[in-house]
Structure 1
Amino acid sequence: MTLTEILPTLRRSIPLHCDARFWPEHTVPTVTDVIVGGVYLTRLVEITGTPAVLSGDLPHSTSAVARTPGAGSDVTVLVFRITLRIDDETGKHIALTDCGLEHIRPWWNECRLIGRASTAQNTVIELIPGDAGAAPWPHPLVSLPGDLHQGDVLAVPCCGTVALKDVRPRPPRASAMSNNLAPVANS
């Protein structure tokens, strides 16, 4: 447990630690952002929108993470937006995302809020992909600030190289019935 988890008000002055084993080389956390190879992730979102990906190399290709089967030495940072936040009567916290999560292998323990410094205690939030081909249940459970809300931006490092097409939400499929409807020609 870190000092910022015990006293969340310190997040305004102390950046959350980024475990170098999971983030690309030259990653520097700030109070409200993460800089990867000189690129501020909040600026990346301003330019490209969400979801966004930024790939790099793991700092030590001989680390235990890099030796994970299929991991190689590549790592991708996925940046995505919360599109809806729901808290139900049983105390369950749910957030819908603007990206697909089924083709990625993220390190959820490194997921972090960027764009603002939250002073709320962390709570476990279930992240549900907001695309039509969403990954099946169970959805990832992530420890994030309890005041997470619609519009907030999150960043998480993912194992390997992830293409933007792998995380872009897919539009819902038209029903087979509507595809079979064709205009009737007058005879």
Structure 2
Amino acid sequence: MTLTAILPTLRASIPDPLAAASWPARTRASVTDVVVDGVSLHGLALLCGTPCVHTADGAEPFAVLVTTVTGTTTTHDGRRLLVLDAGPTEGSGAGLVGPGSATWAELRLLGRASVARLVPTVVCDPDKVPLAEVPMPADVATGDLLGVPCPGGVGRGPGR
């Protein structure tokens, strides 16, 4: 557990730490963004729309997917669900990302700092098929941008 998880108000002044092995080399976090090889993921999404993929330089294939939250809900048992605009069923089934292709534990909020407490959150593809359960700030809402590292790259699909 990190200090920002214990005291979420700190996220307004210091970024959540990155697990360096889960991200491409030359990745750094700020309070509201992740920068990979000098490319702002938030800026990339604003420029290209989502879902979009940044392929990082390096000997091994490595990509970062930027996606938008298209819906949120709470189930009858209190679990929070986030529906993303990218997933294995994206487009004609070609798929951008699936349960095993992304390091979901490193899912990051982009574009704003949240000081809300972390809650267990089920991340789903556009068809509401669960991809992973991860701790996310309780105030993540429709329209928020998220970034997730994908070692080995991502599948082909209509991403930008």
Q: Counterparts of 2:20 and 2:120 in 1: how far apart (Å)? A: 23
The one of 133, 140, 152 aligned to 1:148: 140
Give the percent of matched residue pairs that are identical in Structure 1 and Structure 2: 40
Trace 1:1-187 onto structure 2 (pairs within 5 A).
1-57=1-57, 73-101=60-88, 104=97, 105-131=101-127, 138-163=130-155, 165=157
Higher Cα Rg: structure 1 or 2?
Answer: 1
2:131 counterpart SS class: coil
Unaligned runs of 5+ in 1: 62-72, 169-187
Aligned to 1:185: none
Q: 1:114 to 1:150 in 2, by over 3 A?
A: same
> How far did 1:139 drift?
3.2
Unaligned runs of 5+ in 2: 89-94
> How far did 1:146 drift?
0.7
> How far did 1:87 drift?
1.2
Q: Counterparts of 2:83 and 2:26 in 1: how far apart (Å)? A: 30
What do residues 81-115 of structure 1 show as CA deviations (whole Å, max 9, x unaligned)?
00011013321111111111455311111111111
Q: 1:163 to 1:90 in 2, by over 3 A?
A: closer
Q: When you count strand as a share of all residues, which structure comes out higher? A: 2
Q: Counterparts of 2:4 and 2:12 in 1: how far apart (Å)? A: 9
Aligned to 1:179: none
Moved over 3 A (4+): 101-104
Q: Counterparts of 2:69 and 2:130 in 1: how far apart (Å)? A: 18
Give the alignment's TM-score, normalised by structure 2.
0.86
> How far did 1:138 drift?
4.8
The 8 Å contact of residues 107 and 157 in structure 1, kept in 2 or not, is answered as: yes
Aligned-CA RMSD value = 2.0
